[in-house]
Amino acid sequence: MGKHHSQRKVFLFLLTVTLALCVLSSGLSFSIHSSTAFATDSVFPGFITDLSQVATYDDRLGTATEIWETNNSQLRELIYGPIGTCDLSIVRVWLEDRTTIWYEIMNQGTLESRPSTTKIEIYFGTCGGNQTIYQEEPGLGGGSSKTVCLNISSLPENWCGCKMLTVRVEANYRAIVDAEPLDPTSNDVLTATFDNLCADGIQNQDEQGIDCGGSCPASCRDCFADADFGSAEDAGYFCLGSSVVLDTARLALQEYANCLRDPDCRATLRVYDPLMDFSAVTVEDLERNTDYIMEAVAYYVDRHTTFMYDRDSHIYEPGGAASLDLDGPMNAEDMIQRSGSRSGIILGNQLVDTCPNDYCGDCEDHAILREALMRSLGISWRCAFCADHYDDYFGGGHTFNLVYYRNKWRIMDYGPLGSYFSISQYWNAHNPHNVWNDRVGEYWCPDWLSDPACWICCNQDPYRWTQNYSDGDTCGSTWRTYYEECAP
């Protein structure tokens, strides 16, 4: 009996010292005083099975505080019964005005939490990148909560370049000392995804047009305004004012209307207006909307034109004048009236005696024809350009179109419109070095101003004329601007 009594006194001494040293921030404390008896059903395995003798010990050190020490948590339960916990959790995350992220952190437990760190991960998408923010949190009493706001407009990255914003908030990511041992982790993390209302195809918020103006980064533009024909260096390529070109442009509208009314044909398109009543669409419906005109032109040229290589590399043809030589860039009238009789090599290195389609030409012939049809139907010169990519001065480049479609600059090239909207369809030849049309610039003008033979050449900076989100850093002047993942 004496031996067991001695062990009991030693244990109680160690218990008292441990409790006295564990002074933490919760405010929950207990004292062991002489002549005080404890009643509990709890059992501390291997040490005390009978607490009747505890009252004989005097707590010489006074009040002791015990909250977080895991090695003593069972002792606290022994004295108090079932223990409480702190339980930091993220209960909601929301977005205001595209620029402010809010979250609510709550202590769902009964004990006060220590100061901790919340980790906020923001995923801006393919082009916008990611950002991580660490937010220091004060201690929270049991059952209390607080809301935190984060202004993301000043971050190095922004979400103008993604259709959705994803936010992951993790409570108690890094406590001031160690992670709370009594804090359950199952509800620490909350992830929320927000649609980019500036990329939903609907005029909402404070937008001045569909997904443009107001708080949206895209500028609204009237693509029927300032549509007079010009007389720039190579305006002759487009034959603007020609009845041949205008009649072909109206034929393009008619064929596209027929396609939209046919569900099978419509299924082959990459983009079209989902709000349009296809069952009754007419040419008049299409010609009142610049987006529809662009869709119609891309559809028509793709269907009626076969790619045919030029026999020689004609880099520059002054003014787009008519020529008996159909190699090199053709003007729009020649493309429509004469290219169908060409012989040459088409894709697949197949030699043909006669063009197998209505028109045959290479990249610049496609681009010139598309530009001519769009401008003839009233598209502003500010909303449609031919664009040149140079591999080198003597060949190995590409010409295509850049169009302001649905208030964003997009690539128009082979195939129906929409074939190159995604960054997954990136082609290095779509990285432009020069833009031009009947009002500005000239065709294929490498910027070799020091070359006496080319001193009159003057490239037009593509990003001066065709930059989406021109005031944004992340969505700045790079080839990425033309893709939905970067400028949705």
* In the block, residue with structure tokens 């009233």: 378
pLDDT for residue 396: 76
CB 388 within 8 A of CB 443: yes
pLDDT (average), residues 234-256 = 97
Do residues 115 and 34 both lie within one domain? no
Do residues 319 and 457 both lie within one domain? yes
Does the residue 229 lie in any domain?
Answer: no
Cα distances (angstroms) measured from residue 23 to each of 29, 138, 280: 9, 18, 79
Do residues 161 and 187 both lie within one domain? yes
Do residues 76 and 95 both lie within one domain? no
How do beta strands 305-307 and 359-361 pair? parallel
Do residues 265 and 368 both lie within one domain? yes
4 CA to centre of own chain: 72
pLDDT for residue 326: 57
pLDDT for residue 393: 63
Do residues 315 and 459 both lie within one domain? yes
Last residue within a domain, chosen from 143, 168, 195: 195
Do residues 107 and 249 both lie within one domain? no
Do residues 185 and 312 both lie within one domain? no
pLDDT for residue 290: 97
Residue of 126, 122, 214 whose CA lies nearest to 165: 122
Does the residue 222 lie in any domain?
Answer: no
How do beta strands 384-389 and 359-361 pair? unpaired
Rounded to whole angstroms, the Cα distance separating 325 from 166 reads: 57
pTM of the model: 0.73
pLDDT for residue 129: 73
> 242 is written with which tokens?
């020609």
Does the residue 28 lie in any domain?
Answer: yes
Do residues 191 and 251 both lie within one domain? no
Do residues 75 and 92 both lie within one domain? no
Last residue within a domain, chosen from 177, 195, 213: 195
140-173: b or e for each residue (b if 16 or more CB lie within 10 Å)? bebeeeeeeebebeebebbbbbbeebbbbbbbbb
Do residues 397 and 283 both lie within one domain? yes
Last residue within a domain, chosen from 24, 45, 80: 80
Residue scoring higher pLDDT (356 or 175): 356
Does the residue 446 lie in any domain?
Answer: yes
Residue scoring higher pLDDT (338 or 33): 338
Number of independent structural domains in the chain: 3
Does the residue 353 lie in any domain?
Answer: yes
Confidence band (pLDDT; 50, 70, 90) for 39?
very low
pLDDT in tens, 123-133: 877 666 788 99
Which residues have C-beta within 8 Å of that of residue 192, sequence separation ≥ 6?
A: 93, 94, 95, 166, 167, 169
Does the residue 209 lie in any domain?
Answer: no
Does the residue 203 lie in any domain?
Answer: no
Q: Is 373 helix (H, G, I), strand (E, B) or coil?
A: helix
CB 75 within 8 A of CB 88: no
Residue 63 has a CB neighbour count (10 Å cut-off) of 13
- Please determine, for residue 306, whether its predicted confidence score (pLDDT) is greater than 70: yes
Q: Tally the C-alpha atoms within 13 A of residue 27's C-alpha that lie toward its C-beta.
A: 9
pLDDT for residue 156: 64
Whichever domain contains 182, its CATH number is 2.60.40.10
Domain that holds residue 387: 235-482
Residue of 373, 381, 403, 384 whose CA lies nearest to 254: 373
pLDDT for residue 183: 54
pLDDT for residue 473: 45
Segments of 260-407 assigned E as strands: 305-307, 344-346, 350-352, 359-361, 384-389, 398-405
Does the residue 226 lie in any domain?
Answer: no
Do residues 180 and 156 both lie within one domain? yes
User: Quick one: which H or E segment has residue 92?
Assistant: strand 88-96
Rounded to whole angstroms, the Cα distance separating 488 from 485 reads: 6
Rounded to whole angstroms, the Cα distance separating 15 from 54 reads: 11
Rounded to whole angstroms, the Cα distance separating 256 from 238 reads: 22
pLDDT in tens, 352-385: 999 999 999 999 999 999 999 999 999 999 999 9
How do beta strands 100-107 and 350-352 pair? unpaired
pLDDT for residue 276: 79
pLDDT (average), residues 286-315 = 89
pLDDT (average), residues 42-64 = 33
